[in-house]
Structure 1
Amino acid sequence: MPHPGAPFGPLDFQLVLLRRMADQQPGLVEDARHELGVPLAVMREANRRWQAMVRSPRSRGAAQRYRSVLGEPTATTRRKIGDLECDAFQWQVPLWPDLRFEVLTAPGGPVWNEWLVRAPGAAGPVLSSVEDLRPWSCTVDEVARAFAAVRPMEGSAPTRWQLAITPPDGRRCVADFTWGLLQEVRFPDEPPG
């Protein structure tokens, strides 16, 4: 468990990921927090410290902040997205052993994207219907590849994404992601209840 005044490290960062996910999946977050052996107050304090680091006028760039918190990446690759080349840095996240936290940077260092992705070589879920979309089971890119009719939408916060999906059965839905990990699927055309 993190100690007050200790350097902000990988465990603290996992608590930051969980804090943002708690809005949509409080039960899963509670289970994960217990698995980590961390009280709620410690999770809140980790989030407070992270926000202070992000908003500090003396803050390092985002890529350097991740290196200082998570250490050296476990994998670094050069990736081409359209006509642009970027660097992809990945770190292991013990809570999700089949996932990696990935940061994509533009030439010169600015961060373009930061989210959870499937670890290289790890088998992802089979996603053939909406019923396969269970919380914390898949990532944005896995859902986007699995369904032909997908439209990206703006998320409700910087670390959130949404995909509008029309699966083979025709029921339109919206998949909500936090830090790239599926949180919930909503059916806006269906009445609540």
Structure 2
Amino acid sequence: MKKEDLRITKTKRDLRLALIYLLKDVPFEKVTIGDICEKAMVNRMTFYKHFKDKYDLLDHAIDSLLGQIIQKVAQQIMPVDSFDDFVEFCVLLAKTIIEESSAKKDIFPELYRSDSGIVYDVLTRTMHHYISLLVQEVGKYKKLKHSLQTTTEFLSGGIIHLICYWLLHIDEFDKNDFIKGSEIFTRELITSNLFFTD
């Protein structure tokens, strides 16, 4: 696979960071391509060379953010050679997502502030993709009791709602207690007979 040119990588990163910065103060629906280009210090032609529109950039930004989290977890757990490894991967993933969303809490309010839920929808779709890959992987060790789609939808939706709940109530919980509870819940949920069977 051909490696992306460093200048292209930097431009995409600058556009992604510009969007994330703008989302701290402005709902996604009100962010314009002009705003993004001005913040990233690139012209519109450069923007359209890399992205179709702001929705395409949003997809890229969220995929990059979740991809970094998955990679961080994978460095600690991979390879996933057993069902137990899969369980630990999911537990660490839940913990890492809560930690990362807490560290980036100034941009995540857009998840529930947006009237149309566009950011929420993109985050859910991206999370669904990654969870689907994980569930397919565990299929090597356990049999799915329900369809891949149903299982993935349930697990990814649960993780997204957990993040949103945490961000909405961040001042009401001790972060470590919330993470510990999430780890226990994730482990018990996945190891129950709800999703997988021998």
User: If the length of structure 1 is used for normalisation, what is the TM-score?
Assistant: 0.27
- The one of the two structures with greater contact order (alpha-carbon pairs below 8 A, sep at least 6) is 2
| Structure number with bigger Rg | 2
Higher strand share: 1
